[in-house]
Amino acid sequence: MSGKPLVVVLIGPGGVGKGTIARRLIERDDALWLSRSWTTRPQRATEDGSEYVFVDRDTFMQAADEGHFLEWAEFHGQLYGTPLPTPPEGNDVLLEIEVQGAAQVRQSDPDAVVILLVPPSLEELEGRLVKRGDPSEHVDKRLHSTPDELRLGRALATREIVNDDVDRATNEILSILGTLRQPRRNPS
Ligand code: 5GP
């Protein structure tokens, strides 16, 4: 494959399972490269440190001023940013980010594919947020912002996928990728 990499942006409310699905996608698809974001948020007890580049606000803002990020945004008081992507030759790029960042990516690359992952229900989402160890006030804040995130996400997304089962949702995204790559492999 040659030419500009396809940029696939996975969005959806916190706790919907974007991280799990992103990891599953890169395990299953050898030509997909997952970007590692920067954040000012503290590392969670359930994280091993590989999830993000964890930095302080000054370091983040300096990198932003120096043009280090493809996009960055503030989400619940913390900064998150995608470094300019450096995928291996022939790889497509997978971003797992929130909706304001996805809007910036779409603006700079109108061909970016935005996939909105939605929970089977709000109850299920709450259960997942509690399980991953977020303090209860964070769970409340995140649940409160879910309807807005879904509304903005729906306005932006190319496709919407219900994460009722990780394998099923992963297969659905892989099949979308397969369809999108087809005309790029066989240009007419
Ligand atoms: P969390 O704190 O739960 O890891 O992430 C909070 C939100 O920030 C999630 O929706 C996550 O997808 C998003 N996020 C992670 N990395 C980035 C990034 O680089 N840019 C933006 N805009 N959002 C990000």
Q: Specify if 58 maps to a domain.
A: no
Expressed in angstroms and rounded, the spacing between residue 98 Cα and the centre of ligand 1 is: 5
Q: Specify if 2 maps to a domain.
A: no
State pLDDT tens for residues 124-182: 888 888 887 778 888 888 888 899 999 999 999 999 999 999 999 999 999 999 999 98
Range of the domain at 118: 7-35+90-182
Q: Specify if 124 maps to a domain.
A: yes
pTM of the model: 0.93
- Could you tell me which of 16, 6, 32, 10 has the C-alpha nearest to residue 157? 10
Ligand 1 atom nearest to 69, measured from its CA: 19
Expressed in angstroms and rounded, the spacing between residue 39 Cα and the centre of ligand 1 is: 8
Tell me how crowded residue 41 is: count the other CB atoms within 10 A of its CB: 14
Distance CA 17, CA 125 (A): 9
Count of the separate structural domains present in the chain: 1
Expressed in angstroms and rounded, the spacing between residue 47 Cα and the centre of ligand 1 is: 14
**Candidates 10, 21, 36, 75: which one to mutate for ligand 1, based on the most atoms within 8 Å of Cβ?**
75
Tell me how crowded residue 90 is: count the other CB atoms within 10 A of its CB: 12
**What confidence tier does 188 reach under pLDDT thresholds 50, 70, 90?**
low
Q: Specify if 24 maps to a domain.
A: yes
Q: Specify if 140 maps to a domain.
A: yes
For residue 138, what is the domain's CATH number? 3.40.50.300
The 10 Å CB-count burial string (b at 16+, else e) for 148-182 is: ebbebbeebbeeebebeeeeebbebbeebbeeeee
Question: What is the token pair recorded at 186?
Answer: 């066989």
State pLDDT tens for residues 6-61: 999 999 998 899 999 999 999 999 999 999 999 999 999 889 999 999 999 999 99
Residue ranges lining ligand 1, Cβ < 6 Å: 14, 18, 37, 41, 71, 73, 75, 80-82, 96-98, 100-101
Q: What is the pLDDT of residue 1?
A: 46
Asked if residue 183 has pLDDT above 80, the reply is no
Q: Specify if 146 maps to a domain.
A: yes
Q: Specify if 142 maps to a domain.
A: yes
Q: Specify if 46 maps to a domain.
A: no
